[in-house]
Structure 1
Amino acid sequence: MEIETDVAIIGAGPAGLFAAFECGMLRLDCVLIDALSEIGGQCTALYPEKPIYDIPGLPAVEAGALIASLERQIAPFHVRRLLDRRVEALAGTRGAFRLRTDRGDSVAAKAVIIAAGAGAFGPNRPPLAGIEAFEREGGVMYFIRRREALRGRRVVIAGGGDSAVDWALSLRDIAAKVWLVHRRDRFRSAPESLAQLDRAAGRGEIEKVVPYQLHGLSGEDGVLSGVSVATLDGEVRTLDADCLLPFFGLSTDLGPIANWGLQTGLHTLVPVTPSTLETTLPGVFAIGDVATYPGKLKLILQGFSEAAMAAHAIHPIVRPEQALHFEYSTSRGVPAA
């Protein structure tokens, strides 16, 4: 497929979708390209029912519902999508790029926005003997697409970050039992989430198992019946559980993007100029989790702000003859298609 557009957006997660909206508001044509077969990135692929609490104006919203709202928001602009495709190559210069996908598509664009999140992702698996058999039978899961799948089950959640705490809080009212295992009694999560966790633990809705770490799994024919945990001193305890949710982060890979001549930093992050989100390659911008700069916060709301800033920085590249006068959306409305 041959496509000509103003802006090619690589990644159709929350930041990429909002970048499409901001480009549309500036009357810039764009195309979304994503390696997944559906939009939404990790929000759709990994945890569509996970509650998100820090989207302005929404006290709580499930990840899948947020993506659905973003999709409705870009609907007036009829944004073209190339899904289930990976961008293999980027050539050209600022104002005249050409991208090629692994399915032979050729996209000519004047600017590029990389909104690739963490890139290709997969779970960091705990080194437990025989874990593969329990993964196949659903006793060990790294992503939760439906909370109902865990109704009435005895669930061990391992980890100390936001995902572990948020899922413990989310599952406490449908699981038969929830244990939260961490190697120390200090979790890395939002203060309000930690306060909720303490209250839930005080009511017996969640049992904190600290300081312990995963030690072993037991069961027959891939059916999990117990999770063993141990202290650093070797004290072992067995939890009578039928489901383990290890949340130890994702292993990530930028793939071909890492070979485009961009300066890349620690953990495959792409440094950008904070005021414009432009990378070291002129005309190529990065937003969302993949972008890094001093003071960066890995929050969806910051990705939204970066999307707006990048779109405005791109406008003079695409429309050099046209001055851009900033207007509030409340006064200008959504441009007609």
Structure 2
Amino acid sequence: MSTTTPVSDTVIPQLRQDLNGARLPKWTPAAVAALSVAVGCGIGAAADLASKLQWGLISAGLFLLVSYGLSAKVEGRRQAKDRFATSVIWVSFILAVIPLVALTVYTVQQGIEVVDDYFLSHSMKGVLSSGPGGGIYHAIIGTLEQVLLATAMAAPIGLLTAVYLVEYGRGRLAKAVTFFVDVMTGIPSIVAGLFIFSIWNIILDFGYSGFSGSLALAILMIPVVVRSTEEMLKLVPNELREASYALGVPKWKTILRIVIPTAIGGITTGVMLAVARITGETAPVMMLVFGSDVINENPFKDPQQSLPLYIWQQYAMVNNEYGYARAWGAALVLIAIVMGLNLIARGVARWRSPKAGH
């Protein structure tokens, strides 16, 4: 005897109504956004709010409220909750992008006037800090050499550490390595600089150089590379490893020929994130590299300049319009260098990533 409870005759029509009910037009979110911005700006102007940020927050709040209320009225509460969650995501995205765009635009506006061939091809040798002229050629050379040296040290160490944690790591040693990587992730840059200064400069008695700054930058870079590479290696399907093992391929060769090439795109992106993280560091460079007004192409001897330190030195000169202009120009060049490195990394990742059918 069947004990199945019959479905009520009113349930199925209700479900059909929920699934096939009225829907708002596709242009509704854009229209609501435009209306919210207009009303928000009107409220901000009427209330005499000086900050445009307040106008934006009012507009964002109105957008969320109107979107939810309109969707609940027409489509029902279930669909309204979905639209509200989507609206929150869009608002959060816009709030995150606006400062980035504003910073980029302002930097371009302030720095584009001073960036020219002379600015990029000359140093500050013989130039008064309070006067016109001077360039960032020596700072560009120092930044590129210091970052490349730090990457050459940190990337292999980070990659091998991540491979160990994902492919071999078991027991107390793996837990200890994971713990120290987590601790290193939160180390302030000044602490890394102090550590290298104590070991390299005081105990081993080496002088100021670009290489000593690279050592501190490598310490800051390693945990970022380890964490990003570790996550990318975990995304490689285990079926690829098992298929390789089934063919009799040793584990080390499977990692070298299968796992790493499959994850090379993500690994490269992680390395470039670490490069971007250290390129703008000032404290370790100030402490270990010391800075210089002349061109020093040897990172292993004598003080050397870098773009972050150059920006700080120029902007630290109070009421000096020439220093401010040089600082903004150097900041623009620094952003361009980081952007260029990221584009190169993406190109390398696309070139080296596995292709379909291969």
Same fold (TM over 0.5): no
**Larger radius of gyration between Structure 1 and Structure 2:** 2
Higher strand share: 1
